[in-house]
A and B are shown apart, each in its own frame.
Chain A
Amino acid sequence: MRPTSVILTDFDYLVPKTLEEALKEKRERKGSYILAGGTDLIPKMRGQVVKPVFLIDISGLKELDYVKEQEGRIRIGAATKISRIIDSKAKIGILQEACKKLGNPLTRNKATIGGNLCNASPAADTATPLMVLGAELVLRRLDGERMVPIEEFFVGPGRTVLKDDEILTEIRITPPEDGVKTKFLKVGLRKADAISVVNCAIALKAQNNVIMEAKIALGSVAPTPVLAKEARKVLIGNKLNEDLIEKCAQVAAKEVKPISDVRGSARYRELLVEGCVKKVLRELME
């Protein structure tokens, strides 16, 4: 449906004062949606892609707005704004690199990390860095919680494992150990205000130039952000040199399943994957 400037859907607006209240509403109200930053949800409501019966506004919940280090892990509240993550002093360089490329400076003041993940766009810029960092997501419900590794969170475009009575509350990251190098690369159709045509996050650990551990995550090339497992195998136990980079990039391009859309054709995306993986690996080799 064509977006209208007025939101046509008729809904009730709820502002829980605590997380517990929010969880209670989420369980009891059928057809409820969580409003955090609104940068994605509000345009979707205008286009009637999303028609909430109840809107539960958690944008003001201080309980979900933090970046802190605890017992050696970094914890990020799901309603923490992207601009706040950029300004944070926590050791999450690759996530911050990606956050600086997300949307534009104005939307970054509203958009939240939890929203970016729950929208489950295959192009979500925070997903791939979190995948190479091995992040875990805390899904809370009124009577408990479960932890889900980020690579198991996404099910398809716009779909996650979140159940109706659950809210994503926290992202937990173990900071990369010493010697791990990470890098993020986004290809958009312009410098800012762009949705990824392809994005790529890589983490590498090498000893005497031999790769001990590696993770390659790719966005906007499959129904969900994906880990390139075959390309990873090419790297492990081998010396990082130009030949290996070439081979790894070709394998990565073969294992993705992109579609053609307004931002680029499937074939263009495969070529971009090859180019991005090469570029990032070369930069990490230096």
Chain B
Amino acid sequence: MMKKYPLEFRVNGKKFSVEVRPNVTLLRLLRSLGFTEVKSGCEKGDCGTCAVLMDGEPVNSCLTLALQAQGKEITTVRGLGTMENLHPIQEAFVKHGAIQCGFCTPGMVITAKAFLDKNPNPTREEIREAISGNLCRCTGYQKIVDAIEAAAKKMRGAR
């Protein structure tokens, strides 16, 4: 039986102390802790729906071992905003019809958040490049780009 190792990390500000086997990915651990907003797609780093922020940097949680989150702060899409209090990016996704089946949305929003933190005034081309690691099979991306562009504008106004 595989050995378990202690792991301490934070998810959306809440501290967790757990024991995990080394073969468990961060994606699987987060989902088993109830963070099912982090979706499991291709599990090889192609689709981006499992993206979370790790100390502010967007990464594929499927390509991260849970034990690599030791001491880190993880933010999932629920950590950005809730149903009652949406983040401007989430609000823009709803308003612009950037969500169809919704499966790519958690990863898209996480990627967009980290991108707009770095580049608050992007061109449409830069937005396309930024979300090129997040696959969407419904929208054709136009409305997602519209939403991120609108969110950027709103967030700039709020500053």
- Which residues on A are within 8 Å of B, measured CB to CB? 3, 5-13, 15, 35, 37-39, 42-43, 45-46, 55, 57, 59-60, 103-107, 109-110, 191-193
Contacts and interface: CB of A to CB of B under 8 A. Distances in A.
A10 B23 contact: yes
Contacts of B59: 106, 109-110
B90 interface: no
B54 to A, nearest CB: 8
Interface string B33-45: 0000000100111
Interface of B: 2-3, 5, 22-25, 28, 40, 43-46, 48, 51, 57-60, 62-65, 67-68, 70, 111, 115, 129-135
Contacts of B2: 10-11
A197 to B, nearest CB: 17
A9 B24 CA distance: 11
Contacts of A59: 68
Contacts of A60: 68
A106 B60 contact: yes
B40 A5 contact: yes
- Indicate the member of A42, A45, A57, A191 with the most B CB atoms within 10 Å: A42
A199 to B, nearest CB: 18
B22 A105 contact: no
Given A13-B5, A55-B22, A193-B133, A107 B60 contact: yes
Contacts of B58: 105-106, 109
Contacts of A6: 23-24, 28
Given A57-B67, A109-B57, A13 B22 contact: yes
Contact of A39 (B5, B63, B135): B63
Contacts of B46: 104, 193
Given A106-B58, A193-B135, 11 more contacts: A5-B43, A12-B3, A13-B67, A15-B67, A38-B68, A46-B43, A46-B44, A60-B68, A106-B51, A106-B59, A109-B57
